[in-house]
Chain A
Amino acid sequence: MSLRDKLNAAFGAETLPLLVFLGLVFLAFSFATPLFLTGANLRSMAFQMPVLGLLTLAMLVPILSGGLNLAIIFQANISGLALAWVLIQFGGAEAGPGAFVLGAALALLAGAASGAVMGVVVAYVGAHPILVSLAMMIFLRGLGEFLTRGGDISGFPEYMNVLGHGSVMGVPVPMIVFLVAALMWHIMLRRSRHGFSVYMIGSNIQASEYSGLHTRRTLVLIYAISGMICAVAGILMAARFNSVRVGHGEALLLVTVLACFLGGIDPFGGFGRVLPVVLALIILQALSSGLNLIGANQHLSTAVWGLFLIGVMALRWVGERWRNKRRRGT
């Protein structure tokens, strides 16, 4: 087995091309501006990426199972709201760490519960995940806007800054949270029975049931865990912006789908890995930060993301043809 085969076996075939892409993007921006390859820029990238990253992890597993979770943003918002509510009850800025722990627990519960409800409907009613999560998204948005009257809730304790803006040995805390979550996701998908079931269900849920997998239980768990990681993203957002508002991060919804597809997740489910998705996230962040540094319009970076996805798909198609040709030739 060549080194390339070994890498592909360990990390998925998408990893190598994405690493090359990442290198090219870094190289290009380093030439374009001296500000890109600086500690300050890399740190700011590492602060910005985790929220999108966590939400992408929330999107990833439902897609792998052949579904989708459109409610992730508002699940994160509602969870943030749960945290904010507890903190306000305990005096807002004066609330102690105990209140934060309680609030975070309630936030995780809110995320997991809203996810589990979707999972139950998907698994037992058999409704399509797009419909179910769309309904949940609209419900949570309406509920959140009703509770907050459409406004911001702010005034959180000082120590929450550590979570949003602190660093441990130079590594931003949000980044640490994200990396730990990504590692857990990797282990869950590649090495746990739940992850195994996710892949199998994504390819053929009926055959999975006939093989004795707990298909319904797995679906409920998929959406519950997705909701839980949304809650983590919601807590992080509250800490970073020092406020909670329903609708915060709405634009990220489709970007999470974009990151999944860039990372080689099969849109029809059944195939895909965590590491390439993480690489795709770094590339997206680098593109956005780099364009910002060279003074490009913010909207332009969105356009570049789109172009990038089209480019990657075209390259994958070419690569596939080339591989097929080579296989036939030998």
Chain B
Amino acid sequence: MKAEPDTAPALRLRNVSKTFGGVKALQSVDFEVRSGEVHCLAGENGCGKSTLIKLVTGVYTADPGAELQLFGQTVDSISPTKARALGIAVIWQDLALFPHMTVAENIAFDEMVGLVPRLTFGHRYKTRVQAVLDRLNVPLNLETRLGDLPIAQRQIVAIARALMGDARLVFMDEPTASLTQSETDSLLAVVRTLSSQGIAVVFVSHRLAEVIDISERVTVLRDGKLVGVYPTEGMTQSRLGELMTGALLENTVSAQDRSKAEPVLETVGLSRHGEFYDVSLTIRRGEVLGLTGLIGAGRTELALALIGMKPPDTGETRLEGASVRFASIRDSIARGVAYVSEDRLSLGLIQPQSIADNTSISVLDRILNGFGLLSPRRQTELVCHWIDELAVKIGQPKDAVSTLSGGNQQRVVLAKWLATEPRLLILDSPTVGVDVGARAGIFRIVRHLAEEGLAILLISDEVTEAMFNADRVLHMADGRIVGEYDPRTTSVPELEARIYA
């Protein structure tokens, strides 16, 4: 491949359609990415984003009639090998890295493997690996085992691996889905570095704030069709959300004064060494209390203390006036405290098992028959009731919960805990990996639950989420509650300034 004029776009697709057994995943979509541009691909789950990426990278073949131009050259057909040779790299959500190998081995992987076995000499590839990391401007120890790195740094390794293969067009599929705010910031810095070096980046993300922040233009897809291409300058989150869902989203402060209601949970001076200190808070009936702050502030640790997973060292917890001390999560469930984990994949749900079993797991004693055995009939009744109640979209209750979208999985988690009839519901980052339209649905449920008298602790990374959905917002930093804000009198930028100061 010879160098092409800089004016040619890195990628130009025209009239691309893809049909899977009668279902149109994409319908005559046009898509263009300029060289050195950060371009976002936005849309709800199932809108065709992944299909589009897979067509460009040769995983799928487009229906006849499509035109594909890469770096100014018309390409008739494309295979994964050819795509790589042309300088296209994809960083999938699961990263496809090797946890037991070192950072350097992972980055140089494509060079080290081949059909012919050969000896590899460490120093030779290591200098090249180091050069790539220098280009990205991130310090990483080459000898660290990949599995020992946090997800954020594994992302960097995946990017470096793509650059080793001289990528000029990099697709990133929801790279920030499992990252915290500060990790996201450093990843976005790396993306900017790439773009400044003339590498085009196509960025897929559910987090609208970050889409607007990082990209120059955004292409919006809905139901397999192109909605439009928009410059992100002047774009607002709610406008982008509307484009993606085709519906108006309520992004307004919903806070109300609940200070007259009786308290459900009160903590006094709760501390756990190395995690949080002197936490005193009150959550009242019908109240949604927001808890935000940087990652590592001790928010999740506090939640785990409240449910008895990691009991506090000192301090008092009162539940509806009575002092409690939970020794295990079972104690807290029995007393009406439920916890929706931030890690839906590995803690919130048992992914390979059925929707029915995941829904009933917390209330097995309620679906027993007269002999003390589980009653399939009662289980079905319970599951159907909650699936209706929370409008979960499922195939059959016996399907694995992993077959559901993020939003529907989160509804199953809610169902599982609401079935225990809790008094206090702790939601730890409930919208991680949930797309925009589905988020609104989750928060409608949360608001409804609060109105029915449930006390809710809403932990969130995203300041907007806490401000729009909570009645009061606490700011936690370095394990301490450092401020309380009323969303009706505090603006989002004001609180953001405090948090990121």
Which chain B positions have C-beta within 8 A of A204? 346, 350-352
Query: What residue of chain B has the Cβ atom nearest to residue A188's Cβ?
Result: B373
Interface residue tally of chain B, by bracket? Answer: 20 to 34
Q: Which residues of B contact A328 (CB under 8 A)?
A: 20-21
Contacts of A271 in B (CB 8 A): 352
Q: CB-defined interface of B222-251 with A at 8 Å, one 1/0 digit per residue?
A: 000000000000000000000000000000
Whether, in the assembled complex, B374 has its beta carbon less than 8 Å from a beta carbon of chain A, the answer is yes
Contact B352 A210, beta carbon cutoff 8 Å: no
The interface stretch among B208-216, B357-365, B478-486 is B357-365
The CA-CA distance from A203 to B329 in the complex, in Å, is 19
Task: Decide yes or no whether A93 CB sits under 8 A from chain B.
Answer: no
Is B25 in contact with chain A by the CB < 8 A criterion?
no
A contact residues around B361 at 8 Å (CB): 196, 200, 208, 211-213
Query: What is the bound-complex CA distance between A214 and B398, given in angstroms?
Result: 23
**Residue B468 is within 8 A (CB to CB) of chain A in the complex:** no
Contacts of B329 in A (CB 8 A): 209-210, 212
Partner of B357, one of A187, A196, A210: A196
Does A4 touch B at the CB level, under 8 Å?
no
A299 within 8 A of B: no
- Interface membership of A193, Cβ < 8 A: yes
Assess whether B352 is in contact with A207, with CB atoms less than 8 Å apart.
no
Q: Is A199 an interface residue (CB 8 A)?
A: yes
Determine the chain A residues whose CB is within 8 A of the CB of B398 once the complex forms.
9
Q: Does A44 contact B (CB under 8 A)?
A: no
CB distance from B325 to the nearest CB of A (A): 17
Q: Is the CB of A214 within 8 A of B353?
A: no
Indicate if B339 sits at the interface (CB-CB under 8 A).
yes
A-B contact count (CB 8 A): 64
Q: Are B341 and A200 in contact (CB under 8 A)?
A: no
The reply on A192 being an interface residue by CB < 8 A is yes
In the complex, what's the smallest C-beta–C-beta distance from B440 to chain A, in angstroms? 26
Q: Given known contacts A196-B357, A199-B357, is B348 in contact with A207 (CB within 8 Å)? A: yes
Q: What mask results when residues 63 to 76 of chain A are scored 1 for a CB within 8 Å of chain B, else 0?
A: 00000000000000
Bound-state Cα–Cα, A263 to B498, Å: 60
Chain A residues within an 8 Å CB radius of B357:
196, 199-200
A199 to B333, CA, bound (A): 21
- Contact A207 to B374, CB < 8 A, known contacts A196-B364, A212-B329: no
Is B113 among interface residues, defined by CB-CB distance under 8 A?
Answer: no
Given A200-B357, A203-B353, A328-B20, verify A192-B374 contact (CB < 8 Å).
yes
A89 at interface, CB cutoff 8 A: no
Beta-carbon contacts of B327-356 to A below 8 Å, as 1s and 0s? 001100100000101000011111111000
A330 engages B21 (CB within 8 Å): yes
Question: Which residue of B is nearest A9, CB measured?
Answer: B398
Q: Does any Cβ of A come within 8 Å of B217's Cβ?
A: no
Q: What residue in chain B is nearest A199 (Cβ atoms)? A: B353
Which partner residue on chain B sits nearest A213 by CB separation? B361
Nearest A residue to B329, CB-CB:
A212
B377 shortest CB reach to chain A, Å: 12
A39 part of interface (Cβ distance < 8 Å): no
Which residues from 365 to 392 on chain B have a C-beta closer than 8 Å to any C-beta of chain A? 365, 368, 372-374
**Neighbouring A residues of B168 by C-beta, 8 Å:** none
Measured between beta carbons, the chain A residues less than 8 angstroms from B339 are 210
Taking the complex as formed, is A329 at the interface, i.e. its CB lies under 8 A from any CB of chain B?
yes
Q: Contacts A328-B20, A329-B21: A200 and B330 contacting too (C-beta < 8 A)?
A: no
Where chain A touches its partner, the secondary structure class is helix
Judge whether B416 is part of the interface by a CB distance below 8 angstroms: yes
- Contacting pair A206 B347 (CB below 8 A): yes
Q: Report the separation of the CA atoms of residues A190 and B416 in the bound assembly, to the nearest whole angstrom.
A: 20
- In-complex Cβ contact of B353 among A210, A212, A270, A330 (8 A): A270
Which among B309, B347, B365 is the interface contact of A207 at CB below 8 angstroms? B347
Q: Which residues of B contact A330 (CB under 8 A)?
A: 21
Give chain A interface residues in 238-270, CB to chain B under 8 Å.
270
Q: How far is the CA of A330 from the CA of B23 in the complex (A)?
A: 10
A200 and B374 within 8 A (CB): no
Contact A191:B373 (CB < 8 A) given known A210-B341, A212-B333, A270-B353: yes
**A207 pairs with B346, CB closer than 8 A:** yes
Q: Is the Cβ of A196 less than 8 Å from the Cβ of B347?
A: no
**Alpha-carbon gap, A208 to B341, bound state (A):** 12
Contacts of B349 in A (CB 8 A): 207
Give complex CA distance A209, B333 in Å.
Answer: 12
A190 proximity list for chain B (CB < 8 A): 374
Give chain A residues whose Cβ lies under 8 Å from the Cβ of B352: 203-204, 270-271
Of chain A, the residue at the smallest CB distance from B20 is A328
Name the A residues within 8 Å of B333 (CB-CB): 212
Q: How far apart are B91's CB and chain A's nearest CB, in angstroms?
A: 26
Q: How far is the CA of A187 from the CA of B376 in the complex (A)?
A: 12
Are the CB atoms of A210 and B364 closer together than 8 Å? Answer: no
For B349, give the chain A residue with the smallest CB separation: A207
- Asked if A211 and B362 sit within 8 Å, CB to CB, the answer is yes
Taking CB as reference atom, which chain B residue is nearest A191?
B373
Contacting pair B348 A212 (CB below 8 A):
no
Q: How far apart are the CA atoms of A53 and B350 in the complex, in Å?
A: 31
Q: A191 CA to B370 CA in the complex, in Å?
A: 12
Question: Which residues of chain A have C-beta atoms less than 8 A from B362's C-beta?
Answer: 211-212
Taken together as a complex, chains A and B put the C-alpha atoms of A57 and B413 apart, in Å, by 33
| Bound CA span A200–B354, Å | 10
Cβ < 8 Å to B, chain A residues 96-139: none
A210 in contact with B347 given A192-B374, A328-B20, A330-B21 (CB within 8 Å) = yes
Q: How far is the CA of A145 from the CA of B341 in the complex (A)?
A: 51
Within 1-35 of A, Cβ neighbours of B (below 8 Å) are at: 9
What's the nearest-Cβ distance from chain B to residue A229, in Å? 20
Quick check: A211 and B416 within 8 Å, CB to CB?
Answer: yes
* CB <8 Å contact, B341 and A212: no
**Closest 8 A-B residue pairs measured CB to CB?**
A191-B373, A211-B361, A212-B333, A204-B350, A210-B347, A207-B350, A203-B350, A193-B364
7 A-B residue pairs with Cβ-Cβ distance under 8 Å, sorted by A, are A193-B368, A199-B353, A200-B353, A204-B351, A206-B347, A210-B339, A210-B341
**Extra pairs beyond A196-B374, A210-B339, A211-B362 (11, CB < 8 Å):** A193-B368, A203-B350, A204-B352, A207-B350, A208-B361, A210-B341, A210-B347, A212-B330, A212-B362, A328-B21, A330-B21
B residues at A contact (CB < 8 Å): 20-21, 309, 329-330, 333, 339, 341, 346-353, 357, 361-362, 364-365, 368, 372-374, 398, 416
